[in-house]
Amino acid sequence: MSEKQITGSEALMQALINEGVDTLFGYPGGQAIPLYDKLYNYRDSLRHILVRHEQGATHAAQGYARTSGRVGVVMVTSGPGATNTITGIADAMMDSTPIVVVAGQQASPLLGTDAFQETDLIGITHPITKWAYQIRSVDEVAWAVAQAFYIASHGRPGPVVLDFPKDVQTALTEFKPHHITHIRSYVPVPEMNAKAVAEAARLINSAEKPLALVGQGVILGNAETELTTFLRKGDIPAASTFLGLSALPSDYPLNAGMIGMHGNIAPNLKTNECDVLIAIGMRFDDRVTGNLKTYAPQAKVIHFDIDAAEIDKNVKTTVAVDGDVKETLPAVTRLLREANHTAWRDSFKPLNNRETDKVIRAELFPADGPVRMGEVVNRVSDATGHDAVLVTDVGQNQMMALRYFKFSRTRSVVTSGGLGTMGFGLPAAIGAKLGAPGRTVCLFVGDGGLQMTIQELGTIMQSGVEVKIILMNNSYLGMVRQWQELFFNERYSETPMVNPDFLKIADAYNIPGKRVTNRADLDAAIAEMLTTQGAYLLEVVVEQKGLVYPMIPAGACITDMLLGNE
Amino acid sequence: MDNKTLYTITVFSENTVGLLNQITIIFTRRRLNIETLSVSPSAIEGIHKFTITVFSDSDTITKVVKQIDKRVGVIKAYCNTDEGLVHQEIAMYKVATDRLLQLGSIEDIVSRYNAHVVEMTRDLTVFSKTGHHADTQAMFKELSEKVGVLQFIRSGRVAITREKVERLSDMLAVMEEKIRRDRMQYG
């Protein structure tokens, strides 16, 4: 009965295939050569995207996971290869993104001796992973990979690290695929509590001014339909966090926009006016709540979450509905009365009009002056029929993109929410496109963030991934500059940027592009970008000192919004 | 300690490499000092038990326990204040035998503190004593003043809840039942 013996490296390939993996992002190196040697035999079934820096591999895996709903996979070498993945792993932890990072490691006998390219990856990544494990014997490979994928993708998703010593990569084993249905010491989905469900329904039924806050939990739980059924029956306006965006179509009648520091006026103000606040798969980030002491003090709070540690972490709940929103939302919906909150919903309108008058019209439809970031986003969004995947970098470009890009279907937003990682955008867009090959992927990025991972243009060149890059160049680190203008007496410490010729750089990578400085040329350039086959760099020279409004200063009460020009 | 209470956190876990690190960094990140820590196999084979004491407030400690409980590898974590626990520490004291004998009666100190003589040679005597922190400290103080203590060591706290059953057994029963159902479902 003895099966053929294969190496640990080959066992990894088979275990990955067993998990349904067909794409991985990585970079070879000394302690990963046996892995890459076996990958060479499996290159028909495992497509490897060679990045230009390991950080890019992790962000690409994140982008892939976010658009596809599958686990993103990264393969790197030990030491610097492994430490270069840290930012992406931390980002995936903050934003609940399922990725598995497999890193080569020095041979077991050398561990702890400061051997060449040895680093304690497990020790380093414990605080920023759901699970970090060193494969200690070749017979463990199948189990460890199965466990890694199970943990990354079950319950609240997150990153997993597998540290793979070189001697284990080359040792021989009889591979048997492993399948995991449970882990004794991990409860991915807490049991739904019927009492909590009934109490939540009772509160919502008694509400006159209910407001729902939609987080990424809805998307991760594939509960978009369950959400709209819930909202419709309860007639509940709903606003999204960054990562919750696109769970509801932008034009959905009950969609009340975006909450948070640069969110919409209405849902932010209404948070402090509603009688029942219903948080669904979101975690009350400080960028959403502002000062917790003044956050929704009048409201009864219902919190739906799969992660029990999120309950009462920041905002104290009246009712916690533990569990998977795919199950808990319908359970509550069944107990709801058909409600009608017309007056409450109508009360959002004047606030929306106020935001249009004070902020939006001038940002999206300026008559003259330099091109503004908001109008670039708006025109690209319109030109793609509100059907594209939006990827953003971090900073003003991100806020403008998340404020003004419109969505018609779910899994359309890839952004670094929790960690706020500049440099995230370009590699994430590569992964996003590979995760959603049939969709147009638009990356909005600033001149600062683009230069943090600009080497990934090489990945685009080599893999031919079709990413539409919209560079909004203001020659500043714009968001920091905004804070300096508003809160630091216009002392622009180290925020002006002297930039290279981005088109020449793109050209060197065989990526066509265009620079636009006049608004009159913008639509034609966008059309050219979208009709050009393959990747494209559209550089739009935007207003140097543009400001993102509205803005709730950090730590302020969410009703204390700055609108500018007042 | 600015109105902070001493909490005892009990953690049942798999016996996996690196779990201690995963648990202690949860305290580090929240700037909590661990007062005592004791790790050993539990009554159930393959499951380890951590007993950790820390000064904190109820809100913080509740969040910390949830964060510990959430880690893969941790089976159950919970916390108690002293009222809910029977707890002990063990201390050992090394003194010079000749100075000790000058005291006259060793039996007096042994019986007053309910201590034991673990080893006695011509040169050195080692006592052990179990009890609450205050008790082991009192014996240390007396020995220090009267004889001088050459070496002193105190263990971390070990504790048992005053509840009738160890909560872990219920947990495990529920878990086994779930696993059984899964097996039936997936074959």
Which pLDDT tens digit goes with each residue over A45-72? Answer: 999 999 999 999 999 999 999 999 999 9
Between CA A238 and CA A234 the distance in angstroms is 11
Paired residues of A186 in beta bridges:
A183
Between CA A218 and CA A248 the distance in angstroms is 10
Nearest-Cα distance to chain A for B54, in Å, is 19
Between CA B74 and CA B6 the distance in angstroms is 22
Between CA A96 and CA A325 the distance in angstroms is 15
**Quick check: helix, strand or coil at residue B36?**
strand
Inter-helix orientation angle B58-70/B19-29, to 10°: 150
- What's the pLDDT tens digit per position in A95-106? 999 999 999 999
Task: Decide if B25 and A127 are in contact by the 8 Å CB cutoff.
Answer: yes
Average pLDDT value for residue range A144-155: 98
Please tell me what DSSP assigns to residue A551. B
Q: Under a CB-based contact definition with an 8 Å cutoff, are residues A468 and A440 in contact?
A: yes
Fold of A5-174: Rossmann fold (3.40.50)
Same fold, A5-174 and A365-541: yes
- Which pLDDT score, from 0 to 100, does residue A300 have? 98
Asked if the C-beta of B181 comes within 8 angstroms of chain A's C-beta atoms, the answer is: no
Two structure tokens written together for A378? 């708006």
Could you give the ipTM of this predicted complex? Answer: 0.92
Q: Under a CB-based contact definition with an 8 Å cutoff, are residues B7 and B80 in contact?
A: yes
Asked if the C-beta of B58 comes within 8 angstroms of chain A's C-beta atoms, the answer is: no
CB pairs under 8 A between A and B: 49
- Which residues does chain B have within 8 Å of residue A312's beta carbon, measured at their own beta carbons? 62-63
Report whether pLDDT(A238) > 60: yes
Between CA B187 and CA B179 the distance in angstroms is 11
Between CA A309 and CA A322 the distance in angstroms is 10
Task: Decide if B18 and A122 are in contact by the 8 Å CB cutoff.
Answer: yes
Q: Under a CB-based contact definition with an 8 Å cutoff, are residues A531 and A464 in contact?
A: no
Whose structure tokens read 């559209």? Answer: A538
- Which residues does chain B have within 8 Å of residue A179's beta carbon, measured at their own beta carbons? 186
Paired residues of A303 in beta bridges:
A279, A320
Q: Under a CB-based contact definition with an 8 Å cutoff, are residues B93 and B126 in contact?
A: yes
Report whether pLDDT(A412) > 70: yes
Two structure tokens written together for A492? 């622009």
Asked if the C-beta of A183 comes within 8 angstroms of chain B's C-beta atoms, the answer is: yes
End-to-end CA distance of chain B: 55
Domain limits, chain B: 5-86+159-186, 87-156
Number of Cβ atoms within 10 Å of the Cβ of A66 = 30
Looking at domain B87-156, its CATH class is alpha beta
Fold of A194-346: Rossmann fold (3.40.50)
Asked if the C-beta of A134 comes within 8 angstroms of chain B's C-beta atoms, the answer is: yes
Two structure tokens written together for A443? 């990356």
Query: Which backbone phi and psi does A341 adopt, to 5 degrees?
Result: -120, 45
Whose structure tokens read 């893969």? Answer: B72
Asked if the C-beta of A113 comes within 8 angstroms of chain B's C-beta atoms, the answer is: no
- What burial class does residue A4 get, using C-beta atoms within 10 Å of its C-beta: 0-12 exposed, 13-18 middle, 19+ buried? exposed
Q: Under a CB-based contact definition with an 8 Å cutoff, are residues A168 and A41 in contact?
A: no
Q: Kindly give the residue spans of alpha helices, DSSP state H, lying in A184-323.
A: 194-206, 216-220, 224-234, 265-271, 286-289
- Which pLDDT score, from 0 to 100, does residue B2 have? 64
- What's the pLDDT tens digit per position in A246-273? 999 999 999 999 999 999 999 999 999 9
CATH of span A365-541: 3.40.50.970
- Which residues does chain A have within 8 Å of residue B175's beta carbon, measured at their own beta carbons? 184
Query: Which backbone phi and psi does B41 adopt, to 5 degrees?
Result: -65, 145
Report whether pLDDT(A108) > 70: yes
The bridge status of strand A23-26 relative to strand A319-322 is: unpaired
What residue of B is the nearest CA neighbor of A160? Answer: B72
Paired residues of B129 in beta bridges:
B91
Between CA B170 and CA B180 the distance in angstroms is 15
* Least reliable range by pLDDT among A316-320, A407-411, B15-19, B42-46: B42-46
- Amino acid at residue number A95: D
Nearest-Cα distance to chain B for A191, in Å, is 11
**Quick check: helix, strand or coil at residue A221?**
coil
Between CA A405 and CA A385 the distance in angstroms is 10
Between CA A53 and CA A84 the distance in angstroms is 7
Please name the member of B29, B63, B183 whose beta carbon is closest to the beta carbon of A313: B63
Q: Which of B60, B72, B168 to mutate: most A Cβ within 10 Å?
A: B72
- Specify the DSSP element, H or E, that contains A442: strand A441-446
**CA neighbor of A431 nearest in space, from A56, A155, A178:** A56
- What burial class does residue A104 get, using C-beta atoms within 10 Å of its C-beta: 0-12 exposed, 13-18 middle, 19+ buried? buried
The per-residue DSSP string of A146-210 comes to: HHHHHHHHSSS--EEEEEEEHHHHHSEEE------S-BTTB-SSPPP-HHHHHHHHHHHHH-SSE
**CA neighbor of A72 nearest in space, from A409, A432, A425, A462:** A432
For B65, residues 6+ apart whose C-beta sits below 8 A from its C-beta are: B9, B77, B78, B79
Between CA A311 and CA A304 the distance in angstroms is 8
- What's the pLDDT tens digit per position in A346-380? 999 999 999 999 999 999 999 999 999 999 999 99
- What's the pLDDT tens digit per position in A7-25? 999 999 999 999 999 999 9
Report whether pLDDT(A566) > 70: no
Two structure tokens written together for A421? 């990682």
Paired residues of A104 in beta bridges:
A164
Q: Under a CB-based contact definition with an 8 Å cutoff, are residues A506 and A512 in contact?
A: yes
Q: Could you give the residue numbers annotated as active site of A?
A: 54, 116-117, 166, 479
Number of Cβ atoms within 10 Å of the Cβ of A182 = 16
Asked if the C-beta of B67 comes within 8 angstroms of chain A's C-beta atoms, the answer is: yes
Task: Decide if B75 and A184 are in contact by the 8 Å CB cutoff.
Answer: yes
- Which pLDDT score, from 0 to 100, does residue B170 have? 73
Please name the member of B21, B25, B175 whose beta carbon is closest to the beta carbon of A184: B175
String of b and e for A51-64 (b: at least 16 CB within 10 Å)? Answer: bbbbbbbbbbbbbb
Two structure tokens written together for A176? 């048997």
**Quick check: helix, strand or coil at residue A40?**
helix
Asked if the C-beta of B180 comes within 8 angstroms of chain A's C-beta atoms, the answer is: no
Same fold, B5-86+159-186 and B87-156: yes
Number of Cβ atoms within 10 Å of the Cβ of A84 = 19
Q: Under a CB-based contact definition with an 8 Å cutoff, are residues B158 and B88 in contact?
A: yes
- Which pLDDT score, from 0 to 100, does residue B176 have? 73
CATH of span B5-86+159-186: 3.30.70.260
Average pLDDT value for residue range A97-117: 97
Asked if the C-beta of B69 comes within 8 angstroms of chain A's C-beta atoms, the answer is: yes
Q: Under a CB-based contact definition with an 8 Å cutoff, are residues A25 and A57 in contact?
A: yes
Two structure tokens written together for B116? 């034991």
**CA neighbor of A268 nearest in space, from A348, A343, A344, A346:** A348
Two structure tokens written together for A87? 């930012």
Paired residues of A304 in beta bridges:
A280, A321
Query: Which backbone phi and psi does A183 adopt, to 5 degrees?
Result: -130, 130
- Which pLDDT score, from 0 to 100, does residue A1 have? 44
In chain B, which residues have pLDDT < 50? Answer: 1, 187
- Which pLDDT score, from 0 to 100, does residue B182 have? 63
- Which pLDDT score, from 0 to 100, does residue A497 have? 97
Please name the member of A123, A179, A185 whose beta carbon is closest to the beta carbon of B14: A185
Nearest-Cα distance to chain B for A93, in Å, is 13
Nearest-Cα distance to chain A for B41, in Å, is 16
Asked if the C-beta of A181 comes within 8 angstroms of chain B's C-beta atoms, the answer is: yes
- Which residues does chain B have within 8 Å of residue A292's beta carbon, measured at their own beta carbons? none
- Which pLDDT score, from 0 to 100, does residue B163 have? 79
Task: Decide if A186 and B69 are in contact by the 8 Å CB cutoff.
Answer: no
Q: What is the mean pLDDT of chain A?
A: 97
Domain limits, chain A: 5-174, 194-346, 365-541
Angle at A187 between CA B59 and CA A160, to 5 degrees: 95
- What's the pLDDT tens digit per position in A515-527? 999 999 999 999 9
* Cα–Cα distance list, A168 to A110, A136, A327, A503 (Å): 13, 7, 42, 46
Between CA A216 and CA A280 the distance in angstroms is 8
Nearest-Cα distance to chain B for A71, in Å, is 18
